[in-house]
Amino acid sequence: MTTQIQPETTQELSSPDLLNNSTSINYVEEIETVIAGMAEDQKVMVGQNEAGYQWKFKYGSVDIFVQLTGTSDEDMFTVWSSVLSLPAKDEAKLMRLLLEMNWSGTFEARYAIVDNQVVVLASRTVEDLSPVEISRAITIVATIADDSDEPLMEEFGIA
């Protein structure tokens, strides 16, 4: 048996109608769901102020930070984790290694230096941010940071 579409009872929707009818994403809930599945011992620090929301949780041997500056298209979603304090031994070799790893092994994340810390981070605007992208960014940063902090510390440690 096949069902016939009845033109007189079927509503025609244009593309803008379809977009306006889409469900909006609650970014805070999505982030908290991902973190709840990753945080060791389910311990998560949460903060909210005029700069937005920030979460901190432990994953393996590293602390993971997630920040959401707001929910407008221009706001930022950022995930980061410190993997090595600077100064370090043989910084020229370290910088070369970080640049090479940025090319081949960080997916949407990257290594950077902030406040004398080598960090792994992923950052993007909230515009068109999906739950899958939230999960992927947090997972990638957490995994790369946890996998790289100890080897980097062993090789480059504090100078």
User: pLDDT tens digit string along 97-131?
Assistant: 999 999 999 999 999 999 999 999 999 999 999 99
- What's at 41, amino acid-wise? D
Q: What is the DSSP string of 28-82?
A: HHHHHHHHHHHSGGG-EEEEEETTEEEEEEEETTEEEEEEE--SSTT-EEEEEEE
At 102 the three-state DSSP class reads helix
Structure tokens at 119: 């960090």
* Whether 32 contacts 53, CB under 8 Å: no
- The separation between CA 69 and the C-alpha centre of its own chain, rounded to angstroms, equals 13
Least confident of 9-18, 78-87, 92-101, 118-127: 9-18
Bridge partners for 54 per DSSP = 47, 67
Instruction: List C-alpha distances in Å: 103 to 31, 98, 121.
Output: 27, 9, 14
Provide the mean pLDDT of the chain: 89
Model confidence at 48, in pLDDT bands (50, 70, 90)? very high
**Alpha-carbon dihedral of residues 41, 44, 71, 67, nearest 10 degrees?**
-110
Please give the domain boundaries of the chain with CATH numbers for all domains: 15-156 (3.30.1460.10)
User: Would the pTM count as exceeding 0.85?
Assistant: no
